[in-house]
Structure 1
């Protein structure tokens, strides 16, 4: 199985740290649950919703970039899925230096054949260009993301999709944790190939 992964909230549990940073930026004037919900749509959505100034946006981005890799752990069980896959690639909006730093910190760089990062010149999701590039090169079987935004390009390209810790309508299957991956994904991917 050849898998295209999103990064934040899919491979790595980054949203608790992102939520805390936004909570501090807003001086505790918004509930963490609300912040997380808005960030899960997108950072730009959260910035608009919480009416961040340009200065606050820049401060948040600086704080996020300065976070230690140790604050962004991989999800439990994800390494077993990475080991199982024939090939893994990443498509993320995160800058390459941050991606590389986190992967190196956790000794996980070797899992990924290729990474398309936010500073590689591709349009942001849900544009299909980066997905097309990776699919044409590697023949992707499955796309895993934590937001609809992550799977929409795959749906347009006819690739099987999985939403992680997100039950919004639109994915081919859903996972709350990676221990269920083997049962759910093999059934779904095999049925879509036939």
Structure 2
């Protein structure tokens, strides 16, 4: 099985670190739950939703660059799925330096045959270009993501989809945790 992975919120639980960062910039005027909810739509959506000023966006960029990879924790059980797959690829809006820093920290670089980041210049999700590139080169069987935005391109290309920790999204498979991957996806 060849799997296309989203990064933030799918392989790694990055939202708590990002929520903390937004909270630091916004202060007590917004609660953490509201920030987390908006981040689950997308990082750029949260910036627009909270109407951040240029100065606040610059502060966010500095804080983001200072997040240590140890604050980006892999989801429990995801490594077993990575080991199971014949081939893993990543498609993320994150930059390559950030992705590689986290993967290096956990010793996971060799799990991935290809990693498409914002540095590649593909249009942002839900555009299919990056997914099509990965599918053409790696014959993707399954796309896993935590948001609808992660699955739309896969659906458009006829790739099976798996939503992680978000049952409100229409997908071929639903996972609340990666320990269930083998009975939910593999055994079906």
TM-score scaled by structure 2?
A: 0.97
Counterpart position of 2:132: 132
Counterpart position of 1:15: 15
Counterpart position of 2:118: 118
Q: Residues 61-140 of structure 1 correspond to what in structure 2 (within 5 A)?
A: 61-140=61-140
Alpha-carbon distance in structure 1 between the residues aligned to 2:44 and 2:122: 18
Q: How many residues of Structure 1 are paired with residues of Structure 2 in the alignment?
A: 188
Cα deviation for residue 58 of structure 1 reads 2.1
Deviates more, 1:177-186 or 1:47-56: 47-56
Give me the CA root mean square deviation: 0.9
Alpha-carbon distance in structure 2 between the residues aligned to 1:99 and 1:14: 11
Q: What's the secondary structure of 2:153's corresponding residue? A: helix
Cα deviation for residue 187 of structure 1 reads 4.2
**Deviation string for 1:81-129 (max 9, x for gaps)?**
0000000000000000010000000000010001001111111100100
Alpha-carbon distance in structure 1 between the residues aligned to 2:4 and 2:166: 17
Alpha-carbon distance in structure 2 between the residues aligned to 1:99 and 1:82: 16
**Deviation string for 1:118-172 (max 9, x for gaps)?**
1111111001000000001111000000110001000000100011111123211
Counterpart position of 1:31: 31
Gaps of 5+ in 2: none
Given the alignment of the two structures, is residue 145 of structure 1 paired with residue 112 of structure 2, yes or no? no
Q: What's the secondary structure of 2:88's corresponding residue? A: strand
Residues 163 and 169, structure 2, Cα contact 8 Å, conserved in 1: no
Which consecutive segments of 4 or more residues in structure 1 shift more than 4 A? Answer: none
